[in-house]
Amino acid sequence: FPPVSFLSLHHLCLLLPSLPTDATAVRVLLSGDFKVSQAETRPGNDASDQLGAAAMEASLRAHRPAALLIFAFLSLLSVSSSAAQEIQILNAERRIDLSSQVAIVFLTLKVENTGKAAASDVLLAFPPTEAEHLAEVKAQAASGKKRKKTYAHLIVEPTDVPDAPNGAKGFRLALHNPLSPGETTTIEVLYMLTHSMEPFPAEISQSDPQLVYYRDSAYILSPYRIKQQTTFIKTPSTNVQSFSRVEPTNRAGMELKYGPYEDLPAYSYSPVLVHFENNNPFAVVEELVREVEISHWGNLQITEHYTLAHGGAKLKGVFSRVDYQSRPSASGVSSFKNLLARLPPRVHSVYYRDEIGNISSSRLRTDSRKSELEIEPRYPLFGGWKSTFIIGYGLPLEDFLFESTDGKRYLNFTFGCPLSGTVVDKLTLKVVLPEGSKDPSAVIPFPVEEHMETKYSYLDVVGRPVLVLEKKNVVPEHNIPFQVYYTFNPIFMLAEPLMLVSTVFFLFASCVAYLHIDISIRKG
Amino acid sequence: MASPESAVNGPTMTAGAASKSLRNAFGGVIAFIILVLIGVLAFSIRLFSVIKYESVIHEFDPYFNYRVTQFLSKNGIYDFWNWFDDRTWYPLGRVIGGTVYPGLTLTAGTIWKVVNSLNIPLSVETVCVFTAPIFSAFASWAAYLLTKEVKGPGAGLTAAALLAMVPSYISRSVAGSYDNEAVAIFALVFTFYLYIKTLNTGSLFYATLNALAYFYMVCSWGGYTFIINLIPMHVLLCIVTGRYSSRLYIAYAPLVVLGTLLASLVPVVGFNAVLTSEHFASFLVFIIIHVVALAYYIKGILSPKMFKVAVTLVVSAGLAVCCAVIAILIAVVASSPTKGWSGRSLTLLDPTYASKYIPIIASVSEHQPPTWPSYFMDINVLAFLVPAGIIACFMPLTDSSSFVILYIVTSVYFSGVMVRLMLVLAPAACILSGIALSEAFNVLTRSIKNRKKEKENVEKKPTPSKTEKRLLVLPLEASVIAVLLLVLLGAFYVVFSVQVHCVWAAAEAYSAPSIVLTSHSNDGGLHVFDDFREAYSWLSHNTDVDDKVASWWDYGYQTTAMANRTVLVDNNTWNNTHIATVGTAMSSPEKQAWEIFHSLDVKYVLVVFGGVVGYPSDDINKFLWMVRIGGGVFPHIKEPDYLRDGQYRIDAQATPTMLNCLMYKLSYFRSDFIPIHKTDGKGFDRVRRTEIGKKHFKLTHFEEVFTTHHWMVRIYKLKPQRNRIRGKTKKSKSSRSVSSKRDVRGKRNPWH
């Protein structure tokens, strides 16, 4: 154990003399580190294992002072704030699913109000590194007994937790019925983390499987004291190179179990690291621009510009087509060559191209309920490779445009990326309204950035209003409907035909005039 | 389509005087509608490539033009003129603004700008793809105007219809074939029309227009030298045959003065407009026409006796001066190595020149002489109608018809030298065939009508052209049968042969964009080979933006346009030495090749290999030229080293030099491991239909980084330089000498 970090802890304690040294935190830290070093010394099976362990050690060493700092602040803040202590969690269970590129976490919390006053909301806390990768947080409160369980969706909104240590981000769950003192309730939370798995080794050759690190805490980060908690981590395969131990820790097949841990104070944290094989395609859409153009003549035209990348371990050096074609199971297991786009039914005139022309490797399957477009980029994508392409299609307008009761028109369309199994780093959705539309407003169930633009298209004079919606970190769970309301005077539909007609009329009129006027200088 | 029938309209409108104007107007309207239909036909017959494949730029040169147009539309005209392109000819670069014929680019750029300012959001690519079909409609209308000036509107309509669907022209102007020729043929025909129009009217207005049209042609294509040589030839012919007139003077003199001034405004031509031998004929004839004009003038003011004296005086003095001037000129011209002619022009004058001295020109397939079948393939039945048209032009011979005769004769010669110039022949053949068809129709219908009238014995005022009429009247039965035959044959031929042939040619033979290949499998399915774009797309997304890619020059334009990477050489073959350097590297062993490429900062090497799918125009088949061009500059590459018994072979009989050269290794690296080969011997090359000579070899200085799905394009990366081993120093003398020995030959090719 490096004495420097120990010293630093003491320094911190010395700096804050009014506070009692939080013995629990120190214990946690010590035990955590002890287990980790145990994992390090565990004899590795192969070279990469040792490598992984070495790197893990290095990264932990780097994190250690930071972690210490967190705990110091934690202890400080947890004591100073008493409001948060009025709630405690009796039982917490966390299930982390790492089988795709997105870490999907189910959190079941049994919350008890220990305070005097009724509690109207419950706070969740995320470490800052997780918070910036957080794509979606959903929560619901369960009520009733086992058979007759009913779920009520809870509103989740980011909030500033005043006593949050070291940049921990908070989310506030507003309860429907305030929790009266002594009462308990069960809350289920689902959240997703993108880019939370770091490939290690960062560069692999074509024949290697892809190994990734997943970092988290063995203890659930929470502003409340947790009486009992367990964490399950599900890996996509049984190939787990190494994992940190925070006893009790068990591994069975594809599942790792941390806990149960008893009676941990608020903001307890113990970093763990899991190194495992994940060959699922890390298809990352770095940027997606979707343009939805409404034409009141009956068509909804959608154009989607993709910048696709493989976010996994980079391909080192050689790409051999022989190996790729002859041994598809052993070569390039983490690469992917096709993607599935789920499009709405009744889709027509679908195209799939990039800046240098049509890409011929796509198949469209349609039935009355859905359309599936299977696309292959021009080349299989290995780690670190990129590709860009455009998908465009038309849809019948009557499926998506409706009139609301107050006379406004609204577009009901799906947000998110139609490519299944992808993560979108930045999604820009542009809704191009017909020329002459006014007062556009969007109704979206999650926060997005909004601004207006103007677009000029066929025969436009004043331009079409474009409502631009931007969102970062989009996962397939964001494929939910949203609405754009606007007012439109039908007379504007006649503007363009009238313009054409009048142009042709003036053309003929000028021709007639020209033929009947003698403009020669000679005298007739 | 309906145009041969409609050809009757014009000349037969001689009947009733009262209804004449009405019928004239009626005929005008019909002719107008037919012209519109011809335009639609010309446009739509060229869309097969878009329908069968996609709206994409074709082949090689169009990609460069497309890239230039993109630059123009993005950066504007001033940046375009000053554009120094550092993405090509690394490390030399290329001054695009000064070496490109800007006509096509400016045309498409203007169309794009106009369309976009009207808020019609067409992409640059779309405009580029459809420029050629639009201009072929214009070319058909220009052909109508030209032929109308020569032989009347009937012949004009026929010629326009024929030009709209002549396969030779279709081959260069299908949608996507965004090349200079696309607009140049229109400019060529239109310039000729304005010349003839000026010749017929003597109007200075048309003469000015003519100079402007010539300017547009100079902007568009190096083939403008054809105009500036053909028109002087015609003028000379007119003078020699005693057809000098003031109209001829007006048609010619302003063209030379204005045209030369305008031509020198085009950066790529510049002072070449007065300096090179291609333009010499026009100035010589310019002098001659003035001498002749002076002679006519003097003849007009002097008495015949005095005139004779003056002639002897002037001729003796003039001859002396002329001899002196010509001697000086010859001395000046002879002092330049190519006698003041560019390589491609010399190839036209001496068809054996290129194969003797400039292998690069000879290596391009479109610079080869055509074969006889290609004449039939490209101009079809017109080949048989042209002689009839020539005869028709002689009855009567006018200034304009003599021009058409001269045009066809010279273009037949040029097309015989270079298959590419079949394109210049096509309009001439269409015009003459139009004249032939329309004349035959005229003669036959007129004789039917006259016979009928004689039989009915209607009182008639004597027609002015009595002699002509007597000459042309044929027996009624024969005429009727002939007309019927002509109509039937024409209809049959047009519908079943010309149409089928042209449509077939347009749809099958010339529509393939050559960057996408398709094949039909046995069960009727379509298999697409999109390997080129796969490779370019990979390069553009997965390599650094400033990486240099070496490949044979054929792929230079595509690499810069589609992959946006710097290349060493491209299809603008202006520096033979640089191409020879790449050729030498490709034909050297791995180590030497690595040194050459490394000295040129190359990071990736791209080769095209068809041996797996049987794509015949791959780099191994082009390798002959790499060795030849490389050996032409660097003598240590000797062609016989690569030949066994005078043959290029890659099988077990191949020479060791061949089996160890870079091109062989990069093409066949690990191709003998492909499991899809079901042939008994592994490492079977489907193009050469043989088993390769050397298998299971490893690469020491290169590593494979990408191979496309069908193996057609393979990209290798140069391995980084090894750490220097103690006591050993690398000799990289050879590469140094390569880059230093460089002569600047063949400045710019006006035929390009």
Q: Which of B528, B537, B711 sits opposite A356 (nearest CB)?
A: B537
Give the integer Cα–Cα distance in Å for B447 and B546. Answer: 74
Q: Which amino acid is at B181?
A: E
For B512, other C-beta atoms within 10 Å of its C-beta total 18
- Subunit contact A319:B705, Cβ cutoff 8 A: yes
Is it the case that residue B129 has pLDDT exceeding 50?
Answer: yes
pLDDT tens, residue by residue, A448-485: 899 999 998 888 888 899 999 999 888 888 888 999 99
| Cβ-Cβ contacts under 8 Å for B672 (sequence gap 6 or more) | B682, B683, B692, B695, B696
| B positions 499-538 inside 8 Å of A (CB) | 515-516, 528, 530, 533-534, 536-538
- For B561, the closest chain A residue by CA position comes to A356
| Cβ-Cβ contacts under 8 Å for B486 (sequence gap 6 or more) | B440, B441, B444
Q: Which two tokens stand for residue B414?
A: 């040029």
How does the average pLDDT of chain B come out, rounded? 81
How does the average pLDDT of chain A come out, rounded? 80
The owner of tokens 């017929």 is B200
Q: At what angle do helices A23-41 and A47-80 cross, to 10 degrees?
A: 180
Q: Which 3-state string (H, E, C) describes B622-650?
A: HHHHHHHHHHHHCCCCCHHHHEECCEECC
Q: Which residues pair with A425 in a beta bridge?
A: none
Are B320 and B253 contacting, i.e. CB atoms less than 8 angstroms apart?
A: no
Is it the case that residue A84 has pLDDT exceeding 80?
Answer: no
Q: Which two tokens stand for residue B33?
A: 């509608």
Give the integer Cα–Cα distance in Å for B61 and B64. Answer: 5
Residues A105, A106, A112, A115, CA torsion sign: positive
Q: Which residues pair with A410 in a beta bridge?
A: A402, A485
Is it the case that residue B746 has pLDDT exceeding 80?
Answer: no
Q: How high is the pLDDT of residue B495? A: 60
Are A303 and A290 contacting, i.e. CB atoms less than 8 angstroms apart?
A: yes
Q: How high is the pLDDT of residue B652? A: 80
End-to-end CA distance of chain A: 113
Give the integer Cα–Cα distance in Å for B623 and B619. Answer: 6
Give the integer Cα–Cα distance in Å for B72 and A333. Answer: 45
For A26, other C-beta atoms within 10 Å of its C-beta total 17
Sequence-ordered alpha helix ranges (H) in B152-203: 153-164, 167-173, 180-201
- Give the mutation candidate from B67, B119, B719 for the A interface (greatest A CB count, under 10 A): B119
The owner of tokens 């990039």 is A354
Give the integer Cα–Cα distance in Å for A214 and A98. Answer: 8
Q: How high is the pLDDT of residue B310? A: 79
Quote the strand ranges of B398-442, DSSP E.
none
End-to-end CA distance of chain B: 35
Q: How confident is the model over B519-529, as a mean pLDDT?
A: 76
Q: Looking at this predicted complex, what is its ipTM?
A: 0.79
- Subunit contact A456:B711, Cβ cutoff 8 A: no
DSSP-derived pairing of the beta strands B643-644 and A357-358 = unpaired
H/E stretch holding B356 = helix B353-357
The owner of tokens 């239109």 is B190
SS3 content of chain B, % helix, strand, coil (to 5): 65, 5, 30
Percentage of chain B beyond pLDDT 70 is 82
With bands split at pLDDT 50, 70 and 90, how would you rate the model's confidence at B454? low
Distance of CA B631 to the CA centre of its chain: 29
Is it the case that residue B732 has pLDDT exceeding 70?
Answer: no
Give the integer Cα–Cα distance in Å for A89 and A123. Answer: 11
Distance of CA B629 to the CA centre of its chain: 24
With bands split at pLDDT 50, 70 and 90, how would you rate the model's confidence at B7? very low
- For B676, the closest chain A residue by CA position comes to A326
Q: Strands of B713-718's sheet, edge to edge?
A: B566-567, B548-550, B602-608, B713-718, B702-707
Is it the case that residue B742 has pLDDT exceeding 50?
Answer: no
| Cβ-Cβ contacts under 8 Å for B190 (sequence gap 6 or more) | B138, B139, B142, B145, B146, B213, B216
Is it the case that residue B680 has pLDDT exceeding 50?
Answer: no
Percentage of chain A beyond pLDDT 90 is 23
pLDDT tens, residue by residue, A66-80: 444 444 444 444 444
Q: How high is the pLDDT of residue B329? A: 78
- Give the mutation candidate from A315, A321, A349, A460 for the B interface (greatest B CB count, under 10 A): A321
H/E stretch holding A426 = strand A423-432
Q: Which two tokens stand for residue A61?
A: 């060493």
With bands split at pLDDT 50, 70 and 90, how would you rate the model's confidence at B634? confident
Are A423 and A285 contacting, i.e. CB atoms less than 8 angstroms apart?
A: yes
Are B291 and B325 contacting, i.e. CB atoms less than 8 angstroms apart?
A: no
Q: How confident is the model over A250-267, as a mean pLDDT?
A: 87
Q: Of the spans B224-228, B291-295, B477-481, which averages the highest pLDDT?
A: B224-228
H/E stretch holding B343 = helix B343-349
DSSP-derived pairing of the beta strands A357-358 and A348-354 = antiparallel
Q: How high is the pLDDT of residue B43? A: 92
pLDDT tens, residue by residue, B362-415: 777 777 777 777 787 777 777 888 888 999 888 888 888 899 999 999 998 888
H/E stretch holding A199 = strand A197-199
Give the integer Cα–Cα distance in Å for A380 and A339. Answer: 11
| Cβ-Cβ contacts under 8 Å for B27 (sequence gap 6 or more) | B9, B10, B13, B153
Q: How confident is the model over B667-696, as a mean pLDDT?
A: 73
Nearest to A359 by CA among B537, B711, B508, B510: B537
Closest Cα in chain A, distance from residue B530 (Å): 8
- Subunit contact B674:A359, Cβ cutoff 8 A: no
Q: Does A457 touch chain B (CB under 8 A)?
A: yes
Q: Which two tokens stand for residue B585?
A: 């590297």
Rounded to the nearest 5°, which phi and psi values hold at A443? -120, 110
- For B707, the closest chain A residue by CA position comes to A321
Q: Does B121 touch chain A (CB under 8 A)?
A: yes
Give the integer Cα–Cα distance in Å for B108 and B73. Answer: 9
With bands split at pLDDT 50, 70 and 90, how would you rate the model's confidence at B492? low
pLDDT tens, residue by residue, A110-147: 988 888 888 888 888 888 888 888 888 888 888 766 66
Give the integer Cα–Cα distance in Å for B579 and B682. Answer: 34
- Give the mutation candidate from A356, A376, A500 for the B interface (greatest B CB count, under 10 A): A356
With bands split at pLDDT 50, 70 and 90, how would you rate the model's confidence at B109? very high
Q: Does B115 touch chain A (CB under 8 A)?
A: no
Is it the case that residue A27 has pLDDT exceeding 50?
Answer: no
| A positions 321-360 inside 8 Å of B (CB) | 321-322, 325-326, 353-354, 356-360
| Cβ-Cβ contacts under 8 Å for B420 (sequence gap 6 or more) | B366, B367
pLDDT tens, residue by residue, B77-97: 999 999 998 888 888 888 888
Helix (H, G, I), strand (E, B) or coil at B667: helix
| Cβ-Cβ contacts under 8 Å for B187 (sequence gap 6 or more) | B103, B213, B216, B217, B220, B221
Is it the case that residue A55 has pLDDT exceeding 50?
Answer: no
The owner of tokens 């309209």 is B9
pLDDT tens, residue by residue, A320-361: 888 888 777 777 788 888 889 999 988 999 999 888 888 888
Percentage of chain B beyond pLDDT 90 is 22
> What is the 8-class DSSP label of residue B618?
S
Q: How high is the pLDDT of residue B255? A: 92
Burial bucket for residue A179 (CB in 10 Å: 0-12, 13-18, 19+): buried
Nearest to A287 by CA among A418, A431, A388: A388
Q: How high is the pLDDT of residue A29? A: 38
pLDDT tens, residue by residue, A85-95: 578 888 999 99
Are B283 and B273 contacting, i.e. CB atoms less than 8 angstroms apart?
A: no
Q: How high is the pLDDT of residue A37? A: 37
| A positions 298-317 inside 8 Å of B (CB) | 317
Q: How high is the pLDDT of residue B620? A: 87
B50-68 per-residue burial string, b: 16 or more CB within 10 A, e: under 16: beebbbbbbbbbbbbbbbb
Q: Does A319 touch chain B (CB under 8 A)?
A: yes
Are B434 and B162 contacting, i.e. CB atoms less than 8 angstroms apart?
A: yes
Are A394 and A348 contacting, i.e. CB atoms less than 8 angstroms apart?
A: yes
Contacts of A291 in chain B (CB under 8 A): none
Is it the case that residue A23 has pLDDT exceeding 70?
Answer: no
Are B434 and B160 contacting, i.e. CB atoms less than 8 angstroms apart?
A: yes
CA trace torsion A61, A66, A72, A75 (10° rounding): -100
Is it the case that residue A306 has pLDDT exceeding 90?
Answer: yes
Distance of CA B462 to the CA centre of its chain: 51
Give the integer Cα–Cα distance in Å for A295 and A396. Answer: 10
Is it the case that residue A45 has pLDDT exceeding 60?
Answer: no
Q: How high is the pLDDT of residue B132? A: 92
Q: Strands of A438-443's sheet, edge to edge?
A: A401-403, A409-414, A481-487, A438-443
- Is pTM beyond 0.90 here? no
Nearest to B13 by CA among B392, B400, B445, B436: B445
Lowest mean pLDDT among A98-107, A371-380, B173-182, B362-371: B362-371
Give the integer Cα–Cα distance in Å for B627 and B587. Answer: 6
Q: Which two tokens stand for residue A500?
A: 């054409």
Q: Which amino acid is at A123?
A: L
Contacts of A385 in chain B (CB under 8 A): 538, 541-542
Sequence-ordered alpha helix ranges (H) in B45-166: 48-52, 61-75, 77-81, 96-99, 103-117, 124-151, 153-164
